[in-house]
Each structure stands twice: as structure tokens, then as C-alpha cells.
Structure 1
């Protein structure tokens, strides 16, 4: 599964041809045609290997448990003899088998690609499960109560099902890898000999799931060649930010030595705003860190610098949280929303809902719903001018629903449909300004707020940073609270924020 994709590999002549074609085209500092072409190839999300192996664990647990129950019904009838005891035994043994297989690294991608080579290991873990069952039954003096024929049949059937599942999985993984549907897309930061050594080391690793998409380096061609190990240099570090927002990149690997501390810190200051894993190549470094500091591509060590927040199973849990509580919110507040819609219609001409473009996850534009609180001919979709106290653009009904945040209730539908999350950094309008400066011009690293999906409510809002953002300090404080939320996220934290929101909204001092 080595990632040597011809679409990502170009000759030096091809790179220079694209550079010549792009010269003078587009704004200064924008992506080249070559970079845009490569980014367009990776615009689709892929399946995370962590998610795939997690689903496989659930499937194999279900196969083992259900096959045990099926054999029980066949031999003993429908819960005629020790029904719940057998069910508990099958469930416990199935869970133990999955844990043992995990400990034996049988859920590693390299192992899943080679089920035949891991036949003995799988058999050993399944046998170990039955050894544990036999020991437990012996010490509890209950072995004579259970059918030996039933458990012997389960041993054979369970192993056959696991191995068959592994054969099917290996076939699917190869197809997904070939189609580019399951991979981790990586960009190399820094070129030259260090990048070449890193790429060669990664490509030597069998069954790794890395696809190298290109190289970005600030140095010119005299110090950093346009093509390294067959991969093109697509632009500078600043252009990498734009590239990563177009392409669905999973990982940035910085191929600079740790000894180049100032240069590494300079790069990280630019790159940490992206919702990706950031790793520092450690294969050529002599410094040794604790093992937990490293992750590996095969045997190639990488120093973990930043992890993508709310990723893999965390994102599944958060999405489930959003769906459940969004539906509850819509049901509970439906009378309020209906009454508000009628009041808006009676108070002024125009639509009930107001749609506004805002910055969403990964800095993408999303459309957010609100109840209309301004006169239609005075509305400001871009929010270039902040709403202030006694603003003449706001209607009578609008003043009330803005103070009470009732105007935000339609965003339950944004959360249900996936545009927003229920809890997260509040999305700001694209042209929102403070003293004629865009928010990202006021706060260094402002776009790091967009490493997660924005929310209907957030940690900053319940701590008083809501409403008019009329000073640079307010923008900085809101950003600080948002970044704290991202770094400390948990479902319990989301629940706490959600429950505190109605209480904190009683403070309407900054809401106009």
C-alpha cells in the first residue's frame, strides 16, 4: 500500500511548465495552477483507518456474540436452560477475544492486509479466550453446567467467522486503497535532501496508508529542488495554508531537524491553525524522547506536535450528541419559534428567516439561519457594521429576540443538518470587523478557531463574551476562550456548556 501515486508525481520539466503558465496569473502569493490541480484531486474526504478498524471490532464482536447465541438456540432451545448465563458468557468471551486481538496488534492496518500471514496469531488469541473461559469455569466449579459440544462448536464457528471477515476486510482494504478512499494524505513541509530521505524511508514501509501529496518550502529552487523523490514542490508555506483548505489533508510532516529550533517554531506558528495532525520527522534526529511522544509510519518515527482536534470516534460521538439534542431543542422550542415567526411577520415586511454567510470548519463558508431582526432594506448580510445599542436598523421585535437570543433558535436546524455543531466557537460573519480591521487581522492565529465545526453556543458566550465585539480586546478574549474549548473538548464539557447557556443568556448586557 505504498503511496506512489502517478497523479502526484511530476518531472522537473512539468513543474517548470506549470510555473511558466502561472506566471503573472492570479493574485500575488496565490496557489499555482499545479498546486490547484493537485489539490483538486484530494477534495473528497477519505475513510479514516482508525474508524475502519473500530467498525471492524464492532462487527467481529457482533459475529462472535450472535453466533454463540445461535448455537445455544440450536442445541438448547430458546432460553430453556441457563439462558442469561450463556448470554453473559458469550458476551464476555467475545469482548475478551476482541481485547486479546487488539493487544496482539491484529487490528493494525498491516495485519489486516495480510490475514493469511496472521492466521496463527488470530487462532492463538481465540484459543486464549477459551482457555480463560475454561479456567474461570473450573475455579467457579460450574463447568459441568455447560454444554461442551456447544462450546466446541462455537470455537470452530467463531474462528471461521473471524477469519472469513478478515479475508473480506483485506479485499475491501485493497480496493479502497487502490481507489484512494482509505488513506492518510500527507504534505511534506521543507524540501531538499532531508525531505528526500524522509520520503524514501516512508515509501519503503510495507502496507503503510500514507499518500504523499506534495512538498511546500519557502526556499528557492537553488536551495530546494522543484521535484524531490518524484514529488513536486507546490509552493511556499503561506500557500500551504490555502492548499490545505482546498485539499482534504490529514497530516503535515515537517522534514526539518529539531536542531533548527527557530525555523521549526516559525513554521509551527503558521501551520497550527489548520485542522490536521502536525508531525516532526525524527528519523534523522539523534535526540531520544519518551516512546509516547512518537507516532510511526511503519518503522519511521515522527514526533507528535499537534493532533487534529475532535477526530475519528470523537467526531462520531459529537455528531450523535448534536443530532439528539438538536431534535430535543426543536421540539421544546417549537412554540417559541412559531410565535416569533408570527411576530416578525406582523411587525415588518420581509422574510421570517435571515441567512448569513459565516466562516465554518476549516475556514469554509457556511450559511447560518437566524430569525430576521432588522428591516429588510437595512439588513447587513456581511456584518461589516456591528449592531450597536439602539441601532435604527433593528426592528421592535428584533430588539427583543436579539437580547434574549431567540433570533438564534433556527440554528438548531443548522446543527441537525450538520452545518454547525450545537457547541463550539461561534461563527463570525465573513466581513466582521473591529475598527475597520477583520478579526483575523486583530488576533494572531484567529483562524485556529476553525479547526473544529462552529457552534450555536460556546464556552466564550457563557463566560460573557457575546454580543457586540466593539474592541480588539473582546475579540482576543473570545478567541482565547474558543481555543481553550478546542484544546479541552469532551462530551461532558459540551453538556455543561449546553446546560449553562439558558442561565447565562439572562445576562443581556452586551446583546443588542
Structure 2
């Protein structure tokens, strides 16, 4: 794979005319508009995955219902079954009325209307069953149902408030870019302008001589090279390629160019009878046939992974605090300079994050050319305490804070420096699957590390081996696999006498 910023000729033949360009604006004004848009556009950041949010709301409701049922059992153990009927019916009706369906643009009153209907029907059913089976429980049943209904109403009021707030900020709609300014791309953008199911940031196309300043209101942002080098690329969630069904070579060339990016790529063909008014862009791009790279994340897995990081990460940080305090004192006494060293690293989707480490080297200024020399064996820049913490990987302990912040995970590919080189060559150009490692958060430890691939990379073979382990982890990812990697981390690190760290 070549350097992701290399120049190339337009991918389409001269006679590949797109009907989406008919009657569009041309000329220098278009170029100035595109440049201004590229400079000023700020995509909505910190998006929230809607299926994951929906699953999280269900889990919170289940926890709340468990608390209400337990409280009812403690206070009225001989007749707490009405509360179970009420809660079970409420949960079923929440699903039937679509309360848990989080939309990119949905007013709070619709959520609350579904919640009120569900709670009212469930409460009436529970009270009716009590009156029919055992009238002596009527008063207690009414009280229990009233308390439970009030608690659930308040909870869903909070849900509705935040859902509407996040929707107004654009955080519930994915950030998409379109490659190929075709007729169907134009119709999809027009349809999306009403549903607002996704944030269409703009259109990229190599055919600049016929490119419009905008397509149905979505700005033209440049060529494929401009997309690859776009400063807001890390905020893009999905790339949708729209082409004609006969442009096979163009599709292959586009996918080869886009394979260097970590974002999922979806292919939308210009079908003759395709009706964009009946099919939203979001539904089409999420279909299995359209998704060419980047598997869709499971909401359950996303929640479980984050809970794993928060619970285990918090416990590890509390346990490590005495050790970290001692190391901070020793580092300060050993050599002048700050205790912590902050490094820029590539995170999820290639977004730059600031990673914390204990300083293990002298606080020398960088060379005048700004280059950073990788650590070598017996490097004189490493301090006395630095040798200890590097050999035991204790210098990585502050990254537990990165895990709790959400920039990193406990397990995942280790974060690499931007533009990292192997033997003078960009590592990303040595391995075709390099971008895949950015489809998950970087980890404090990983499958590559426990298999001996640690420290600087000096050969293309070493780079390919590490990326192979990283991609294998992403393919096999599960909680049990994470636990297995964490259990192997300590012995693997302490027993490593070969790798330079």
C-alpha cells in the first residue's frame, strides 16, 4: 500500500458523466467556496451510537425495575406479585410502542407519550388482576404501582430530555461523507435534509472539472486526496461511495484508495429503479450488502467493553495509587523534570489523543528538526529509575487515567505515534491492514504485546507481525478474550528480556 497522501490521476474515464452534475455551478467561485468550507466546517463531535444508547436505556430500566421489585418484596413479601405484573407489562409495552427506539430527530413529547401510555395500560392491568384475584391486596397494589409508575415516569423524563438535547446537538446522527456526486447521491442528500438521520458533511469526487460547489446543499470538499488528508477525518463515522453500476474499474480503484482509512466504507450503486424517498441513507449504508469494510459494532459489546474498562480500570487505579505515588517521588528525586510525560498518539478513527506515561528519560530538549529518536538498547538518555519502570512497564500505569477518560481501553492495539516509521518508511505504507487497528480504541495491553511484539519496530516483518496480531484481536474480540489477555500480560512483560523498552 502506498503513502496515503500520494497524488493520482482522476479515477473515472472522460465519458463517465454523472447526471448529478447537471446544471450545477462551475468556475473559480466553486473552488473558493470549497476551500472556505474545508477550513470552517466543524463536524458534530462526540457522537452517541443510537443502538448502543437504546440498549443502555433498557439496561437502566431493568436495573431500576429490579430495585423496585426488591423494595416491594421487602415491604410486602406476601403480595408483591402485582408489582412484577406491572413492571413486566411496562417493559413489554415500552418495546411495542417504540419507546426504546432512539431517533436522530425525535421530540421529547413523543418519547413521553409512549411511556405514559405504556405505564397507564400496565398499571390498569395490574390493578384489574388484583381486584379479580384477591381484593385484599387492592390498596397495597395501587400504592406499589403508583410508586413504580412515578419512578419510571421520572426516569423516562430524564431519558427524553437528554435524547432531545443530544439530537439538537447532532450527536445522535452519524457523520457521513459521500464519495461520488451522482444523481442518487443528490436524491439521498435531499431526503436526508428532511429526516436528518445522518450528518452529511460533504461530497468528495476526483472529477473536479465537473464538480459542483455543492450537491443538494452538501458542500463539495475536494478530491479523494483531500478526503484522505482532511483534518476532520477522525470525526467521520462512515464513507458512502456512490457510483454507476457499470464503473467496475472505478469502484475497485476507489476502494483501493479508501482502504488506507479506518472508517467503514459502504457502497451504494445507482440502481435504475432505486427510490431514495422510501430508503433512508442510514438504512442503506447499514445493510450487510452495502458494507464493504468495517463490521458494525454490537451495542451489547460496546456497553460491555466500556463497563469492563470502568470497573476493572477503577479497581486497578485504586490498587496502583500507592505504587504510583512512590514512583512519582523517585522520578522527581532521580532527575530534574516533570513526573509525567505526555505523548500524542493515534486513537479511535485515527484521532489524536494525549497519552500519559511516567517520565523515564532525561528531560532534554528536542532536536532542532523536531525528530524523535526511538529508544535503543542501553540508551544513555534513560534515567536510573527509568530503566526499572521501563523494564517492568510500570511507566504505563498513568494510562489507566486515559482508560477511565475513554481515550483508551484496557485491551486493544497499543497506540502508535502519528506518522510512525519502521526503518525510515511509514509503517502505514508497509501493511495494507494498518488502518484496521484504528477501528477500536487503543489498549493498555494487547494481543500483540502478550505474544512478544513490544517496543520499537525496526523491520517491515516486525511491523506486519504486530498488525497481524492487532487485526486478529479485533476479529476475535470478546470479554473472555480480554480477560485472557489481561491475565497473560504480567507474566509476558516480566519474562521479556529481549525487546527494547
Q: Same fold (TM over 0.5)?
A: yes
- Does residue 370 in structure 1 map to residue 373 in structure 2? no
Q: Secondary structure at the match of 1:180?
A: coil
TM normalised by structure 2 equals 0.75
CA distance in structure 2 between the aligned counterparts of 1:117 and 1:433, rounded to whole angstroms: 51
Partner residue in 1 for 2:8: none
Does the 8 A contact of 2:190 with 2:216 survive in 1? Answer: yes
- Judge conservation of contact 1:344–1:352 (CA < 8 Å) in 2: yes
SS at 1:147's partner residue?
A: helix
Whether the aligned pair in 2 keeps the contact of 1:15 and 1:34 (CA below 8 Å) is no
Equivalent of residue 19 in structure 1, options 26, 31, 34:
31
Question: What is residue 505 of structure 1 aligned with on the other side?
Answer: 493
1:37 matches 2:36? no
Alignment match of 1:90 (pick from 67, 83, 98): 83
Q: Using the TM superposition, give the Cα deviation of residue 473 of structure 1 relative to its aligned residue in structure 2, in angstroms.
A: 0.9
Which moved further from structure 2: 483-492 or 169-178? Answer: 169-178
Provide the secondary structure at the position in 2 that maps to 1:322: helix
Deviations 1:366-413 (A, max 9, x none): 332333333333888977433232333334443333222222223223
Change (3 A) 1:501 1:134: farther
What residue in structure 1 maps to residue 179 of structure 2? 189
- The aligned residue for residue 434 of structure 1 is 422
Residue of structure 2 equivalent to 1:360: 347
- Which deviates more from structure 2 when the two are superposed, residues 384-393 or residues 296-305? 296-305
Structure 2 residue aligned with 1:496: 484
Structure 1: state its 5+ residue gaps.
Answer: 1-10, 23-31, 288-293
- In 2: Cα distance, 1:114 partner to 1:378 partner: 54
The 1:313–1:16 alpha-carbon spacing in structure 2 relative to 1, beyond 3 Å, is farther
Aligned-residue Cα RMSD (Å) equals: 4.6
**Structure 1's 304 and 399: CA in aligned 2 closer, same or farther, altered over 3 A?**
same
The worse-fitting range, judged by mean Cα deviation, of 155-164 and 433-442 is 155-164
Query: What SS does structure 2 have at the residue aligned with 1:373?
Result: coil
Once the two structures are TM-superposed, the CA of residue 416 in structure 1 deviates from its matched residue by 3.3
* Residue 147 of structure 1, aligned match among 125, 131, 137: 137
Residue 465 of structure 1 deviates from its aligned partner by 0.5
Alignment of 1:184-263 (within 5 A): 184-203=174-193, 207=195, 209-222=197-210, 224-243=211-230, 245-246=232-233, 248-257=235-244, 260-263=247-250
Distance 1:159-1:274 versus aligned 2 partners, 3 A rule: farther
Q: Which runs of 5+ in 2 are unaligned?
A: 1-22
Contact 1:215-1:235 at 8 Å conserved across structures: yes
Contact map agreement 2:106 2:164 (CA 8 A) in 1: no
User: 2:51 aligned with 1:50, yes or no?
Assistant: yes
Deviation digits for residues 191-248 of structure 1, max 9, x if unmatched?
Answer: 1223123334445xx65522322111122242x4443223222112232234373573
Moved more, 465-474 or 103-112: 103-112
Change (3 A) 1:131 1:265: farther
* 1:325 maps to 2:312: yes
TM-score, length-scaled by structure 1:
0.73
